[in-house]
A = this chain, B = another copy of it.
Amino acid sequence: MAEIRRDLVKNNWVAIAEDMALKPHEFPINKRGIETTGIHIFCPFCEGNESSTPPEIMACREGTSQPDTPGWSVRVIPNKFSAFHLEGVLEKTHSGIYSNYNGVGRQEVIIETPQHGIDLHDYDQERITMVIRVLRDRYNDLSQDERIKYIQVYKNRGIFAGASLEHSHSQVMGLPFVPRGNSGVAEYYKKNGKCLLCDIIAQEKQSGVRLVYESDHFLLICPYASRFSYETWVIPKQHCEHFGALNEAEITDLAMICRKYTRVMIESLQNPAYNFVLNTAPVNLPYQPGYHWYMEVTPRLLVTAGVDIATGMFMNPVAPELAANLFRERMLKIN
């Protein structure tokens, strides 16, 4: 199990996997020759290799196939290398000026397809819908554990986005604390008595310069302070705190947007690595107003430099107004 250590300089947390020490040659960067050869190496996420992963948590299966056998279309497994485990009680330990929590939590992998070599932008509407539904259901299931305070849903695609396996997957992580990444939304509410994301929606619809697309339920924008070139946010138009509250109509709409947007982005940016990361409200804590879930999609065309991380100030060579302009036209043309 990991230790979640307090970083006193940055006022944040670091998850340190104590029981596992990667050797230098085992890091993905040093293995990249192997990782990018694709389908010729053994892949634990491929159909038929179910026995090389931990037992599945759930799977979408047609017919009568048994767990941990072929016949699935989306499969959820525990992350084998997780820093978090749902065991025991959350404990805080002090050691002089330092402090840490034990890694009570959960990290799950959603294998989005049995097929190696295709990704989000290749899926049909039905598959994307299924993946989003599974993500929502895992979110809601993890939120039943009172030890979990925040559920982080995300996807790393490509080595430059931090993916260590090529086979298309996303992840759901249940954390025993609330990371402070989106703390600005609660502060904005305290100061203004209004939801920041609702205010962003209003201003972006009015100005239009960073607006990429609007559907029945969602707005796509390139955010005003984009940290990454071509960063794009998918925001539910109606105020909604939890990703887990997604209904079927919204899932269908979100699947349509994800399908179109990832196709446009992959094509426009020459098949980049990217992340998506959900921002959502904490769970199992007293109600705090100001949260409004949304999805950040961040193409990874520049490697994050040390100074971005040290200062928290990112340098972005592409204005979001230019990025929005590129995507806006192409979103209207794509099927």
Contacts and interface: CB of A to CB of B under 8 A. Distances in A.
A207 to B, nearest CB: 8
A-B pairs with the 8 shortest C-beta distances?
A: A275-B306, A162-B305, A179-B311, A7-B225, A27-B301, A181-B311, A5-B225, A277-B310
Interface of A: 4-18, 20-22, 24-25, 27-30, 81, 83, 96-98, 152, 154-156, 159-163, 171, 173, 175, 179-185, 187-188, 196, 199-200, 203, 207, 224-227, 229, 268-270, 272-277, 279, 296, 298, 300-320, 322
Nearest to A154: B307
A10 B161 CA distance: 20
Contacts of A156: 305-307
A301 B7 contact: no
A28 B173 CA distance: 31
B306 A162 contact: yes
A249 to B, nearest CB: 27
A133 to B, nearest CB: 21
A21 B319 contact: yes
A162 B303 contact: yes
Given A9-B184, A15-B314, A307 B29 contact: no
Given A98-B224, A277-B310, A29 B179 contact: no
A154 B185 contact: no
Contact of A185 (B9, B188, B313): B9
Nearest to A278: B310
Contacts of A316: 14-17
A163 B24 CA distance: 21
A171 B181 CA distance: 27
